Amino acid sequence: MRLSDHITFLPAFSLDRWHFSAWPETLTFSDTIGIVGLLVTVLGFAIAVRQINKTHTAAEAAKAATVATVHSFRRFESMTNLQKIAAQTKVLHDVLVQTRIEASASAAVRLREMVAELEGHPTGPHVNESKRWPSMKENIWRIESDLSRAQSINRLDVDNRLELLARVSATRDEFITLASKTAMAAF
């Protein structure tokens, strides 16, 4: 027997609408299994769609967390690099106090290299956000240039040395301040 043998369509006319009867007069076991299977399939599809939405939402949350972690790590790395530069300015200051021209010039070159490395580093954009960064960088370049010139003539006047010491100290303070601000922005 076919399913169509069990289904009877009885169109009946009434004054308000057509009535169709599409339900079989008798339900067999296979008909019941088919209906239950259809309900389970629809329910399973609804659950699958819900789970896909949850997975998509979880993936977006994980992506946002990853971006936030990378951003925080880069800020922390910027702060660390700025503290290393501040430490190098302390080395330069100490060598200048001892009036060692060649060592001072070498320390200034290393300081300039560290600043250039920081600027090209992936953490550099965090540092470049500072409005003081261009003047800080320019000050490092001038200090290095003045010390290279002093090294070439093997002479550093007392007035020039005191002025360089003041500029190095001010630059160190600026780097420490920028490192602190960077650290606070990371949290």
pLDDT digits (tens, 9 = 90+) for 19-55: 555 555 677 888 888 888 889 999 989 998 998 888 8
Stretch 164-172: mean pLDDT? 91
Instruction: Name the class of domain 71-186.
Output: mainly alpha
Alpha-carbon separation of residue 119 from 2, 59, 128 (angstroms): 80, 33, 8
| Average pLDDT of the chain to the nearest whole number | 81
The answer to whether the beta carbons of residues 104 and 95 sit under 8 Å apart is yes
Stretch 136-142: mean pLDDT? 88
Q: How confident is the model at residue 13 (pLDDT cuts 50, 70, 90)?
A: very low
Stretch 105-123: mean pLDDT? 84
Stretch 127-137: mean pLDDT? 75
Structure pTM? 0.62
Quickly tell me which residue has 């389970």 as its tokens. Answer: 40
Q: How confident is the model at residue 166 (pLDDT cuts 50, 70, 90)?
A: very high
Rounded CA Rg of the chain: 39
Stretch 89-104: mean pLDDT? 88
Instruction: Give the per-residue pLDDT at 53.
Output: 86
Instruction: Give the per-residue pLDDT at 12.
Output: 47
CA pair distance 67, 113, nearest whole angstrom: 30
Domain residue spans in the chain? 71-186
Instruction: Give the per-residue pLDDT at 110.
Output: 92
Task: Please provide the DSSP assignment of 166-177 as one string.
Answer: HHHHHHHHHHHH
Quickly tell me which residue has 């960077």 as its tokens. Answer: 182
Alpha-carbon separation of residue 59 from 44, 62, 63, 81, 136 (angstroms): 22, 5, 6, 33, 42
